[in-house]
Structure 1
Amino acid sequence: MNTDAGNGLRHCSTETQEASRSGSRLAMLFRSTLCTGIMACASAIAQEGGQDVMIGTDLDLQGFLDTELAAGKKRVVVPPGQYRVTPRKREHLRLAGLSAVEIVAEGVEMICTETTRALTIVDCNDLKLKGLTIDYDPLPYTQGRIIKLSQDNTVHDIELFDGYPAAEYVRNSKYEIFRPDTRTLRFGSYHQFSAEVLDAGHIRVTRKGRYMGEKVGDIIAIGTSTAPGGQIPHAVYTSHSAGVVLEGITLYASNCFGFLESDCKATHYLRCKIDRRAPGGDLKQRAQPRIRSLNADAYHSKHATIGPRIEACVAKFMGDDCINICGDYHLVMAANGTRLRVLAKRKLNIRAGDPLEVVAYDGRRLPDAEVISTRKLGETTAEELAFLSKQRMHAPFRQGKLGPTYEIVVDREMALPMGSTIRSANRVGNGFSVVDCDFGFNRSRGILIKASQGEVRDNRMEGCWGEAIKVSPEFWWLEAGSSNDVKIVGNRILNCLGKGIAVYAIPGKGGTAPAGAHNDIVIENNIVTKTAQTSIWVTSTRGLTLRNNTVDDAEGGVVLENCDELVGQETE
């Protein structure tokens, strides 16, 4: 008998004995179904001579959890195993309205069978999910090798590797190119491109932009979609929840972000892991090992009233940032005394009583205001659309694809030019913590912070293509905000292609914001080695503590602009 089949049968026998001892009819039924699936899977593997055509047991995981929770259980243990799960309404699993519940899924792998969301968590309080592994079969990307370049290098003919999605599933998204010798990125990524199907195993990518050094033989990854039931983004999405703990969760793939949270309070990510899956544990044989993990960001937090704690986590080889903690800026179109005409980014997440961060178009940060009232007005005017079309921002925003306009009444008169920004000062992730994490080998930034009262401590970052640690609002994306009281301490940064530590502010008008955009920033005891750009760059900051950092001087060492009230400047 094939060794894997024998192991499956032995596992089946053990699970049945455990169920019998437990006396649980539901657990017995679950494990009986599990064993039948394992035996069938083992038989299929044996018949194929060890070729793992399809790993995992078909399981209604949602139904199992719903039954356990409906019985009033506050602690649910999912029996270990690899389970193939079919999505319902574009979600493979949904946890909604739970309070003080613990779900233990150690040794459990959920294999998502369509490239849509793995897990949605909504309206939960003090929910703990522990140990779950998530992967996709089919994957949300395919992989291949450049076999031909046009004379001007703008056309790439690509042969897809066996074991990855076929050409018909390729989409015009997330195109990355890797060196075959180091299996790391050749450069960041191309954004403007189109993909053409040549046959089942070949595609042609035509790109724009300047040549970035790709060569025949380079390995590529490009996004795919296999979701007959429809697709929504991200692997794990948590919204309108408080005190959620995600412990020991492993993600090997996602069609977009790994973990996205929105409008949450004090989420805790503990020992979670995002990485490309090694061939020894992969779900099928592939001609080449996986070259990336997720298609986009690893951990992304929006609008949190208390920011996340991201502790002892890993994020490597994904297609965008490791961490982004942010809120939304909304654009001031006009100011008349205490009344502001405001164009919302999408939904307006500003409420009466909120403290309001106010930043003028030239980057001056004004004292915070308080919101008295909000009132929806309607659509943008022709004058406002003309102004937007000239801004340095994301193309859809320039085209006016934003939310409706509102009248916001504040507690004092303001003289603000068009293009100034406001945001709710308490829906941006304040109180965050990023500690003892291992990040890198991604196409963009390492840790991106736009919140206050937080720490970035004792992390390791290697091979990020953007800044390793960035503290800055981004007018381009209308992502808020400026930062107060942030400590960047004890981090190790190695071989990153952007700046090592960058704290800065670029206003909508351009240039560099004056001091006071950021306040009370501490940068100490960090080691920055072999960055391609400046080791530490700080602008627009009032109250900067800078001491006991070890940096390379080759690319500028430490550079300060528009900073005042500096405490210390000792570096090695």
Structure 2
Amino acid sequence: MTTTRWIYLSCQVAAVVCILAAHCPAAGNEIADMIVQAHADGKTEVTIPPGIYTSSNYGVNLKDIGNLTVNGDGVTLLAGIGISLTRCHDMTFSGFTLDQSPLQFTQGTISAVSPPNGPAAAWIEFKVDAGYPQFPVTFKPTSIGIFDPESHQWKRGVPDLYAKDVQTIDADTARLHLASFPDGIVNVKVGDSIVLKSSGISGISVNQCDNLTFKDITLFHSGILVSQSGRGMVLDHITIARGPRPEGATRDRLLAALSDGVHYANSRFGPTIENCDFGFQGDDGVNLHGPTLALVGFEPPRTAWVAYRIKDPLDQLVQPGDMLRCMDPNTYSVMQELTIATIEREQQDLPEALAILRKAIDNKGLDNAFVFKVTIEESLDDLPLGVVCDIPQLNCPNFVIRNNVFHDNRGRGLRIDASDGVIEHNRIERTKMAGIALGPEYPFWGEAGWVTNVQIIGNHLTDINTYSTTAVNGWPDGGAISVGVKLPITWDKKLSSTTTVPSGNRKIVIRGNVIDRAALNGIYINAASDVLVEDNKMRETNYYQAAGRDRHLYRLNIGKGIDVTNSKQVVLKNNQIERNKAKPQAKRR
């Protein structure tokens, strides 16, 4: 993922901490009490009385509950995290509406923009809309979204912007000093609409659960976070949409979820997502991935120590026989595939582990490195410290994403690092980056891994890559449907002409998709092998006349509607391209 990601929450609290707001009829803990009592009584179904329930922290926080259907028709829950589940199983939640008050973003109208003195000095001044949080805001502001004042959609051709500092002028006005960005302020004008948001928390948080179904639920403020979970996760008829106007507001909300619509991580099985409508997320519609580790120590012949940036219990997730895949930290070409015999959490972290992990995943800002001792079946090669590793069985395999609508994302419609899945018959519209992106993002965010055996069939993508650049934060989104890999390169750290990019994504089928209006290619294949691209229709591709302007980062070949780079055994068959506007680019060597 390429911007502020979900904050992982351990959800270890046994009791529900809720505060009753004076204007609401009930507190969120009343819902939890009803569910716990129904479980204790051996019931299989409980209906929550309609009404507005409010909590300043968790709305419904449950642990170790199972075999229960919870009906929430007519229930609106205003909470930081609406529904939090830990070690729950065989449950269905339906009918709830989840929102948050106060909002964790504010919005307004740009009143001034810095003169073009370079990105280091850039700033934006704006006035807050009536009814939205005033300055100083209570949340920690991170990223900025620019919206068209007429259409209220993400403004085209505007790069990601981040607030380095917020200077309060008065309660209604602030000046945002921007973090340095190579493009500076592009296509941002006085009168544009603006959002200043926090990194976001989840409306629904799921941790170490099995066989859960969420159905007919609406989220107005945040998305869904699932981590360390097993089989049977179903999301059916879930809506993520911009919520009602706050009290005193005269303008509608510009943003729905602060970050991803669904962020699904570090799990042995992926989700089934069907019949959903996700719109106006601050990042990707769906993001599936596993953990990226670094080798921080080893003791021949069969003991290694690996570090992870997040305090997830990998020792409880990994099973004997799982693979520890060791890769070159510069290209992620596979160096060795090892079979895990045992894994255990080290009680004392290795002092040098954090420095090694920071370097391995190219993230100097990491604060933690959680270390695990791994014994393996084979003899270790003499691998250098800092080798990047992942565990494919934890990369959320076996997923289904079918018959959904994903639209108006700041990031991608679908950001998939998982294998053995189907993406079919979805509608994807107006994404700033790729509509569907397959392939790992090992550096910085540490999201694994290489993708194998995925079918992309019968999807309809419209108005894709509205940011109109091939390398957003170094991730090569060269097409509306993109297959690739993010490497540890930036605008000032380009891919060497002698570097061989591995064809690590394998067995991909892209068939029968329709792509209408893509700023860049319709389909772009990079770092892949054994790919079939068949019976796809593309109309009006590469309409952005500077398409591929960042292609030098990856030695990309962009411009023909369908292009292939750093790949082998790619079959193009019976594809139709109409009104491809850009001239084919010469391949850089």
TM bucket by the smaller chain?
A: 0.7 to 0.9
Indicate yes or no: 2:207 matched with 1:239.
yes
Summarize the alignment of residues 505-544 of structure 1 with structure 2, pairs less than 5 Å apart: 505-507=485-487, 514=501, 516-544=503-531
Q: Give the distance between the partners of 1:64 and 1:216, measured in 2 at CA.
A: 51
2:363 is matched with 394
CA distance in 1 between partners of 2:381 and 2:418 (Å): 24
More helix by share: 1
Cα pair distance change 1:508/1:181, threshold 3 Å = closer
The aligned residue for residue 457 of structure 1 is 424
Taking a change above 3 Å as real, the CA distance of residues 425 and 385 of structure 1, as seen in their structure-2 partners, is: closer
Matched, 1:426 2:396: no
- Assess if the C-alpha contact under 8 Å between 2:354 and 2:369 holds in 1: no
2:216 equivalent to 1:248: yes
Which residue of 1 is the match for residue 236 of structure 2?
A: 270
- State the Cα deviation string for residues 512-541 of structure 1 (Å, max 9, x = none): 765541221111111122212222111222
1:502 counterpart (482, 493, 499): 482
What are the residue-to-residue correspondences of 1:328-477 with 2, within 5 Å?
328-333=291-296, 336-347=300-311, 349=314, 350-361=318-329, 362-365=331-334, 368-374=337-343, 376=346, 379-380=349-350, 393-397=362-366, 401-404=368-371, 406-476=373-443, 477=445
Q: What's the CA shift for 1:302?
A: 0.8
**Counterpart position of 1:7:** none
Cα distance, 1:467 vs. partner? 1.4
How does 1:9-408 map onto structure 2 within 5 Å? 56-59=24-27, 60-81=30-51, 83-87=52-56, 90-112=57-79, 116-152=80-116, 154-170=122-138, 171-186=140-155, 187-209=158-180, 210-223=184-197, 233-254=201-222, 258-265=223-230, 266-277=232-243, 279=244, 282=245, 284-333=247-296, 336-347=300-311, 349=314, 350-361=318-329, 362-365=331-334, 368-374=337-343, 376=346, 379-380=349-350, 393-397=362-366, 401-404=368-371, 406-408=373-375
1:557 equivalent in structure 2: 561
Q: Which amino acid aligns with 1:203?
A: A
1:443-492 Cα deviation digits (max 9, x unpaired): 11110111111011111111111111111111221111111111011111
Q: Secondary structure in 2 aligned to 1:500?
A: strand
What secondary structure does 1:191 align onto? strand
Counterpart code for 2:277: V
Cα gap change, 1:390 to 1:303, in 2 (>3 Å) = closer
Residue identity opposite 2:210 in structure 1: A
Residue 55 of structure 1, CA deviation: 7.4
Code of the residue aligned with 2:364 in structure 1: it is A
CA deviations 1:296-338 (Å, max 9, x no partner) are: 1110111121110111111111111111111101112466554
Indicate how the Cα distance of structure 1 residues 192 and 166 shifts in structure 2: closer, same or farther if over 3 A, else same.
closer
Between 508-517 and 403-412, report the one with greater CA deviation. 508-517
Deviation at 1:242, TM superposition (A): 0.4
**What is the percent sequence identity of the aligned residues?**
22
Structure 1 segments unaligned to the other structure (5+ residues): 1-36, 42-53, 226-231
Instruction: Give the CA deviation at 1:142.
Output: 1.4
Measured in 1, the distance between the counterparts of 2:64 and 2:358 equals 42
CA distance in 1: counterparts of 2:528 and 2:440, whole angstroms: 13
Amino acid at match of 2:47: V
- Can you list the C-alpha shifts for 1:82-127, whole angstroms capped at 9, x where unaligned? x13224xx31111221211000112221133xxx222101111110
Give 2:42's aligned amino acid. Answer: G
Q: Displacement of 1:250 after TM fit?
A: 0.4
Q: Which protein is bigger by CA-based radius of gyration?
A: 1
Question: What root-mean-square deviation, in Å, do the aligned CA atoms of Structure 1 and Structure 2 show?
Answer: 2.8
4+ residue stretches of structure 1 with deviation over 6 A? Answer: none
My pick for the range that moved more, 139-148 or 237-246, is 139-148
After superposing the two structures, state which structure 1 stretch, 166-175 or 404-413, moved more: 404-413
Aligned partners of 2:144 and 2:163 also within 8 Å: no
Q: Give the conservation status (yes or no) of the 8 Å contact 2:290–2:390.
A: yes
| Distance in 1 separating the partners of 2:523 and 2:122 | 35
* Cα offsets for 1:42-84 (capped at 9, x unmatched): xxxxxxxxxxxx9753343333433444333210112333x13
Unaligned runs of 5+ in 2: 1-19, 466-476, 490-494, 543-558, 577-589
Equivalents in 2 of 1:269, 1:533: separation in Å? Answer: 31
**Matched residues in 2 for 1:570 and 1:339: separation?**
51
- Distance of 1:513 and 1:249 partners within structure 2: 46
Distance 1:356 1:405, change over 3 A: closer
Relative distance call for 1:357 and 1:160 in structure 2 (3 A) is same
Equivalent pair of 2:39/2:66 in contact (CA under 8 Å): no
Tell me the matched-pair count. Answer: 500
Whole-Å Cα distance in 2 between the matches of residues 338 and 496 of structure 1? 48
- How big is the shift at 1:388? 5.6
Contact (CA 8 Å) 2:428, 2:461: kept in 1 or not?
yes
CA distance in 1, matches of 2:59, 2:500: 45
Aligned-pair distance for 1:413? Answer: 3.6
Given that 1:303 and 1:428 are in contact with CA atoms closer than 8 Å, whether structure 2 keeps it comes out as yes
Tell me: CA distance 1:285–1:65, structure 2 relative to 1, closer, same or farther (3 Å): farther
Question: Does the residue aligned with 2:166 lie in a helix, a strand or coil?
Answer: strand
Tell me the distance in 1 between the aligned counterparts of 2:349 and 2:501. 33
Shift of 1:261: 0.4
Report which stretch shifted further, 558-567 or 475-484: 558-567
Partner SS state of residue 211, structure 2: coil
Q: CA deviation at 1:262?
A: 0.7
TM-score normalised by the chain length of structure 2: 0.78
Segment drifting more, 262-271 vs 491-500:
491-500
Q: CA separation of 1:243/1:200 partners in 2, compared to 1, >3 Å: closer, same or farther?
A: same
